[in-house]
Structure 1
Amino acid sequence: MGSMGWAAWAALSAFFAALTAILAKVGVNSIDPDLATFLRTVVILLLLGGILLVGGQWREAAAIPGKSMLFLVLSGLATGASWLCYFRALKLGDASRVAPVDKMSVVLVAVFGVAFLGEKLARIHWLGLGFVALGVVLLTRKG
């Protein structure tokens, strides 16, 4: 696992996110979106718990620095809110239109990174973000 760089992991993330959208759209069709989110979360908890136990990476909560714990809890709350909204959107809309709007997070992460983390973006990056936003608008329009 350690030999793969960030770009390979990011590409795998995109692949699995695409699968998530398609599989979730089929799964949420006949059930409540909140129940669908809960079931997905249980699967994730079991999977990650197993990975941590097998890999010997389990740590007691007390060993985690307070600042890390705070921000991970806040991140978890944001993730939960995102998933709830995403599954409701999938229940109501086409996966091919919901997923691009969800990926506006790419633009928001860049803006938040600049605003809150002091990251720097060149003009070419801002142009790319503009194209992403334009792409989302075009992909969500009725053809």
Structure 2
Amino acid sequence: MSRRRSHPKRGQAPALTDTSPCPCGLPAAYGECCGRFHSGEAAAPTAELLMRSRYSAFVAGNEEYLRRTWHPSTRPRHLALDPGMHWAGLEIVETTDGSAFHSSGTVTFRARFRHHGKRGALHERSNFERHGGAWTYVDGEFLD
């Protein structure tokens, strides 16, 4: 018996199971990919994998993970995700540094979305730094 991805009601994030395709775009199930980072079972070993897991957290509406992986110096006090935002795909354009051998890195990406029925794309160069040994999102610059 296979599990089917449920279609969320208006304003709800899609339900992800361990066997769902991972929203980040890598060819792995959610539980083996970003789900292990979201659960705290593992930490993202590179800036790119942190970026992918944060995108998946936006898809899932996981505010706790987004706050936990945000650098303390730029982390917002409150985070309220827009229920009208539905993320539809991620493309990594470029990465600079951000490996196990670096303390900082950048990830340039395009994320497609629908917001209240209108299609759009977010093109950003995100900055990441290690904090307490773990990769964190610092800030980003919108492109285009």
Same fold by TM-score, threshold 0.5 exceeded? no
TM bracket, shorter-chain basis = under 0.3
* Normalised TM-score (structure 2): 0.27
Higher strand share: 2
* Normalised TM-score (structure 1): 0.27
Higher helix share: 1
Higher RCO (Cα < 8 Å, 6 or more apart): 1
